[in-house]
Chains A and B, each alone.
Chain A
Amino acid sequence: EPEVTQTPSHQVTQMGQEVILRCVPISNHLYFYWYRQILGQKVEFLVSFYNNEISEKSEIFDDQFSVERPDGSNFTLKIRSTKLEDSAMYFCASSPGQNKHGYTFGSGTRLTVV
């Protein structure tokens, strides 16, 4: 069964450093997303990406965040200068382009900012 792959599974970084989280969405999907989940809290939407541009972003997705689809397979989330409160699980997801909106999520990257 096709799956969304995320790397790394766990990243520890120092406050102020830049991190790049990587995702390989399902190959024939057209919509790509990043969500995050702070420990013990609900999943929160960050950004959606379609046709090589951001289609929607949340208040959380400020200037410190950026996304890119550098080639035909990868979808990355960059945090420019990490803060302690960026520590969370970051989930990538993709969905097909039809009316059905069901997503497939990756296993997540646990980001720990120290």
Chain B
Amino acid sequence: GQQLNQSPQSMFIQEGEDVSMNCTSSSIFNTWLWYKQDPGEGPVLLIALYKAGELTSNGRLTAQFGITRKDSFLNISASIPSDVGIYFCAGQAGNNRKLIWGLGTSLAVNP
């Protein structure tokens, strides 16, 4: 079945540093979504990408839909303590509406 490989699995950084994480797939996706999940909460949508090559920003967050349609990255600039959480990529392929999820990147920020 379709799988997403998300890396890194975890990151521990200093406040103010930039962060980058990415997802890759062996198959083509039509949509890439990036979510953040806080403990005990549901995933919250950060950025949605719908076209190959699309680069979208949301405040300090920037994400891109790879031109091969098999990868996406998320960058966080100038990290702050409230960026702590687990970041998930998710993708949709074909006409399917179901989301295929990565395993998540756990981010810890040292103030």
Seen from chain A, the residues whose Cβ lies within 8 Å of a Cβ on chain B are 4, 6, 31, 33, 35, 41-45, 48, 55-56, 58, 91, 95, 99-108, 110
Q: Which residue of chain A is the closest to B44 with respect to CB atoms?
A: A105
* CB–CB B43/A33 < 8 A: no
- The verdict on A105 contacting B97 (CB below 8 Å), with A42-B103, A43-B88, A100-B48 known, is no
* CB–CB A103/B101 < 8 A: no
Q: List 14 A-B contacts (CB under 8 A).
A: A4-B42, A43-B88, A45-B98, A56-B97, A56-B98, A100-B48, A101-B33, A101-B92, A101-B97, A104-B45, A105-B44, A107-B40, A108-B40, A108-B41
- The verdict on A43 contacting B96 (CB below 8 Å), with A100-B50, A108-B41 known, is no
CA gap between A106 and B102 in the complex, in Å: 19
* CB–CB B97/A95 < 8 A: yes
Q: Does B11 contact A (CB under 8 A)?
A: no
Shortest distance between the CB of B108 and any CB in chain A (Å): 16
CA gap between A51 and B45 in the complex, in Å: 25
* CB–CB A55/B97 < 8 A: yes
Tell which of A31, A91, A102 touches B42, judged by Cβ atoms closer than 8 Å. Answer: A91
Tell which of A6, A56, A103, A104 touches B96, judged by Cβ atoms closer than 8 Å. Answer: A56
Q: Which residue of chain A is the closest to B41 with respect to CB atoms?
A: A107
Q: Which residues of B contact A35 (CB under 8 A)?
A: 99
Interface size range of chain B in the complex: 20 to 34
Q: Which residues of B contact A41 (CB under 8 A)?
A: 103
Seen from chain B, the residues whose Cβ lies within 8 Å of a Cβ on chain A are 31, 33, 35, 40-45, 48, 50, 88, 90, 92, 96-104
Q: Which residues of A contact B101 (CB under 8 A)?
A: 42-44
Q: Which residues of B contact A110 (CB under 8 A)?
A: 40
Shortest distance between the CB of B63 and any CB in chain A (Å): 13
* CB–CB A42/B102 < 8 A: yes
Which of A31, A48, A103 is the most central at the interface, judged by chain B CB atoms within 10 Å of its CB? A103
Shortest distance between the CB of B14 and any CB in chain A (Å): 26
CA gap between A99 and B104 in the complex, in Å: 26
